[in-house]
């Protein structure tokens, strides 16, 4: 059995500010879940019932840094 939660059990998802505004590449994360569990779930907003990538807070910070530098 996996300790990864069912993405449907996470009730609050927030669209990343780094996602495109045209509805194409949309990444969502759950800050309330991250705060409560110390693990950051990330998903593709186009597949809300799909699996979520569970990142450590350090891994999530690295992903955000990568996104910031991708446009530089």
Q: Give pLDDT, residue 71.
A: 67
Q: Taking the model in full, what pTM does it have?
A: 0.74
Q: Give pLDDT, residue 48.
A: 83
Is residue 69 over pLDDT 80?
A: yes
Q: Of 51 and 3, which is predicted with more confidence?
A: 51
Is residue 54 over pLDDT 80?
A: yes
Helical segments of 1-72, H only: 31-37, 57-70
Residues in the chain: 72
């Amino acid at each position: 059995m996996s300790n990864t939660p069912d993405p449907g059990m996470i009730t609050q998802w927030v669209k990343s500010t780094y996602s495109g505004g045209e509805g194409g590449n949309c990444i969502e994360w759950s800050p309330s879940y991250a705060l409560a569990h110390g693990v950051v779930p990330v998903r593709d907003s186009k597949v809300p019932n799909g699996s979520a990538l569970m990142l450590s807070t350090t891994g999530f910070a690295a992903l955000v840094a990568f996104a910031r530098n991708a446009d530089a």
